[in-house]
Amino acid sequence: MTIPRQPLIVVPTYNEAENVDDLLAGIRGVLPEAHVLFVDDASPDGTAERVRAQQERNPGLVHRIDREGKQGIGTAYLAGFAWALERDYDAVVEMDADLSHDARALPTLIGLLSDADVVIGSRYVPGGRTENWSRLRRAVSRFGSFYARRILGLPIRDLTGGFNAWHRRVLATLPLERVRSEGYSFQIELKLRAARAGFRLIETPIVFVDRRAGKSKMSWRIVAEAVVRVWWLRLSGA
């Protein structure tokens, strides 16, 4: 399995100071030379300062975008993608800051880009699962992917998941300036646009663990947006 020459891991943050060091230690443990870009929305808990300290310890490997105010995970990823496309990165990975995404899956996600354009870390294919979730959250997540899959006609089982690897050619081709979704619907829209553009998407199993520190950003507003946005994506032909 061949890992692309220069991967970038994009990590949006808002009040994730408690997790920065452990996240980077996990990444360094499996991909010592990978670059990590934090996109911080003016976290009041000192997240940017913690990232800045890691930049001093890991010059050239840890990067940071500081944004004014809380703008949302969708725009954070779009900022990270634009930053990556301005530089010489072959692969870009979306990764949560809350340690719910196991860094040990990174070599597989990135390596599979040798055979696909987009690799989806999937909770809902054989071998994938969630841990420490309530029955309600598990049901909402499963239904969300099922709902989007049926309406959009996509065979992907984990449309709402956010642990995904993208080959540079996909991000360079998609009209990212047209993406307006946030939260769950952001992940759905990106995958839909990639599939409609003719790119090959595959899923690989991951174990998703509920965050150990900090506060979840998931809200019923995000869920409601996804419910409505899925129909817009279908009817608009986005």
CA pair distance 81, 149, nearest whole angstrom: 25
Which residues face 40 on adjacent strands? 13, 66
pLDDT score, position 79: 97
* Whether the Cβ atoms of residue 227 and residue 149 lie closer than 8 Å to each other: no
pLDDT score, position 238: 66
pLDDT score, position 1: 47
pLDDT score, position 214: 53
pLDDT score, position 147: 86
Confidence (pTM): 0.90
199 Cβ neighbours under 8 A, 6+ residues apart: 117, 118, 170, 173
pLDDT score, position 227: 73
Q: Compute and round to an integer the Cα radius of gyration of the chain.
A: 17
Sheet containing strand 118-122, edge to edge, reads 62-66, 35-40, 7-13, 91-94, 164-167, 118-122, 201-205
CA pair distance 228, 38, nearest whole angstrom: 30
E strand segments, 128-232: 129-131, 164-167, 201-205, 207-209
pLDDT score, position 234: 78
φ, ψ for residue 204, nearest 5 deg? -130, 140
φ, ψ for residue 71, nearest 5 deg? -110, -10
CA pair distance 224, 193, nearest whole angstrom: 21
pLDDT score, position 228: 76
* Whether the Cβ atoms of residue 145 and residue 158 lie closer than 8 Å to each other: yes
Distances from the Cα of 79 to the Cαs of 48, 200, 212, 221, in angstroms?
Answer: 16, 24, 27, 23
Question: 214: how many CB neighbours lie within 10 A of its CB?
Answer: 18
Q: Are strands 62-66 and 129-131 parallel, antiparallel or unpaired?
A: unpaired
From the candidate CATH numbers 3.40.50.620, 3.90.550.10, 3.30.710.10, 3.40.50.300, the one assigned to the domain spanning 7-236:
3.90.550.10
Q: What is the mean pLDDT of each run of 10 residues along the chain (238 residues)?
A: 77 97 98 96 97 96 95 95 96 96 97 96 95 80 84 93 97 94 88 96 94 56 70 75
CA pair distance 68, 128, nearest whole angstrom: 36
pLDDT score, position 84: 98
